[in-house]
Amino acid sequence: MTHNLRIVLLKTTHPGNIGATARAMKNMGLTELALVAPKYFPHAEATARCSGAEDILDNVKLVDRLEDAVADCNLILGTSSRNRSLPIPLLDVKEAALVTKKSIQQGSKVAVLFGQERTGLTNEELAICHYHLYIPSNPDFPSLNLAAAVQVIAYEFSCAFGEIFEQEAIVDSQHVTGLDMERFYEHLEETLLGLEFLDADNPRLLMRKLRRLFNRISLERNEMNILRGVLTAVNRRCR
Amino acid sequence: MTHNLRIVLLKTTHPGNIGATARAMKNMGLTELALVAPKYFPHAEATARCSGAEDILDNVKLVDRLEDAVADCNLILGTSSRNRSLPIPLLDVKEAALVTKKSIQQGSKVAVLFGQERTGLTNEELAICHYHLYIPSNPDFPSLNLAAAVQVIAYEFSCAFGEIFEQEAIVDSQHVTGLDMERFYEHLEETLLGLEFLDADNPRLLMRKLRRLFNRISLERNEMNILRGVLTAVNRRCR
């Protein structure tokens, strides 16, 4: 069932951190690693620091865009220590482990995102997430090394999951995937432009605010069908 | 109260791990680091990897012998993933965090030991410990990077301690220190040799077994006084 939990590293600068992440994951029984536009990969330093977790590096999902790394995921958590102007629901690691366990038991596939080392997740990257996950830390020195953050989260998730790693999911998820959500947001944006509610020349934060709203709901498939039906009906009227 | 929790690294080979340990500690609000006979220290790579936790490196307690790193400690935990021929009481990280919290609240000073990267703690080093602390991990790939192990333990301890880090201990510990225990073992060994119960030419594992026994008790000062009195009485009779 570990294939239902994916670690996603975005635009990683230091290949050593990729290797150390693979080691940390394997130590905790995780297997699925995706890399979005890493600066260097494959790289000798990644291999050196993985210390025997080559199987994880060999099976990396290497993609150019974040959307492709989470297209099949039903629940997306963004790791971050920074405060945001548009906060999304916040979970500490122990809470996130319980939410993730519940989701996986219900058949969901879960992604945990880690931003670039110096900057963390951008607001755009965080806008794809259902939850903001943070590691409680020293307020005067909050920023963990990337692989150390993966280690803490993988440890806590693995403690919470226990034997569920050994089981197969018994049900299909009722929740939509990241790809479903991206298609929905495209449809929504197009509709709002047609309505002239959204101004292409001055979009402000409207789409990001709508993402925050709809991501918080964790839409089910039948709900998505209804929303898409509404958008189609509005589009038809606008023509 | 963080000065009542000391991280002790033994014979560390890679200076980068010392720096990464300092960063992990500071992230979690810990401050006390002791190094026993590191291969390289100070070192540029330690400074680079600490990423701003130089204050921890500047205040390192640098010693040649493990005994000197824990002389003032009342509770000593040894981190290890290996099974031992003479097992000492075992705690996972969450259990160890609770035991440590309780000890610190009662005025104890606590040390957590980490062995050399490839080998971990030796049996001799583990014989000084009251408890064996382990990080639950993949049985097929159990060995964490040194700094990653420090990160997980510091994280879990910091979660368990919460606000007690801010308080001062209100009582003096009733428990003896590592130095008290070493003096006791010297006294005990000398007594057993005098009794010819212990054979200097063929000591077997006797002293290690006795260490395991007495460490498990977490002796209080008045109990130690009684035991030392008994040893003195026996020695007097042997002469």
Per-residue three-class SS string for chain A: CHHHEEEEEECCCCHHHHHHHHHHHHHCCCCEEEEECCCCCCCHHHHHHHCCCHHHHHCCEEECCHHHHCCCCCEEEEECCCCCCCCCCEEEHHHHHHHHHHHHHCCCCEEEEECECCCECCHHHHCCCCEEEECCCCCCCCCCCHHHHHHHHHHHHHHHHHHHHHCCCCCCCCECCHHHHHHHHHHHHHHHHHCCCCCCCCCCCHHHHHHHHHHHHCCEHHHHHHHHHHHHHHHHHHC
CB contact under 8 A, B155 and A147: no
Q: At what angle do helices A146-161 and A93-105 cross, to 10 degrees?
A: 50
Average pLDDT over residues A5-33: 97
Model pLDDT, residue B85: 58
Contacts of A155 in chain B (CB under 8 A): 93, 135-136, 152, 155
Task: Report yes or no: A214 and A176 within 8 Å, Cβ to Cβ.
Answer: no
The pLDDT confidence band at residue B105, using thresholds 50, 70 and 90, is: confident
Model pLDDT, residue A111: 96
The pLDDT confidence band at residue B19, using thresholds 50, 70 and 90, is: very high
Model pLDDT, residue A167: 47
Mean per-residue pLDDT over chain B, rounded: 88
Look at residue B221 and tell me whether its pLDDT is greater than 90.
no
Residue in A27, A143, A147 closest to B137 by CB: A27
Task: Report yes or no: A115 and A144 within 8 Å, Cβ to Cβ.
Answer: no
CB contact under 8 A, B24 and A145: yes
The pLDDT confidence band at residue A212, using thresholds 50, 70 and 90, is: confident
The pLDDT confidence band at residue A85, using thresholds 50, 70 and 90, is: low
Distance (Å) of CA B227 to CA A33, A35, B1, B86, B173: 57, 61, 31, 24, 19
Element at B85 (helix H, strand E):
none
Model pLDDT, residue B167: 47
Look at residue A209 and tell me whether its pLDDT is greater than 90.
no
Q: Tens digit of pLDDT for each residue in B116-164?
A: 999 999 988 988 898 999 999 998 899 999 999 999 999 999 999 875 4
Element at B192 (helix H, strand E):
helix B178-194
CA A167 to chain centre: 23
Task: Report yes or no: B104 and B4 within 8 Å, Cβ to Cβ.
Answer: yes
Residue in B24, B53, B135 closest to A148 by CB: B24
Residue in B27, B144, B147 closest to A137 by CB: B27
The complex scores an ipTM of 0.75
A contact set with B (CB within 8 A): 20, 23-24, 26-29, 51-53, 93-94, 135-138, 141-145, 147-148, 151-152, 155, 158-159
CB contact under 8 A, B158 and A136: yes
CA angle B144, B131, B224 (to 5 degrees): 150
| A138 min Cα distance to partner chain B (Å) | 5
Contacts of B93 in chain A (CB under 8 A): 155
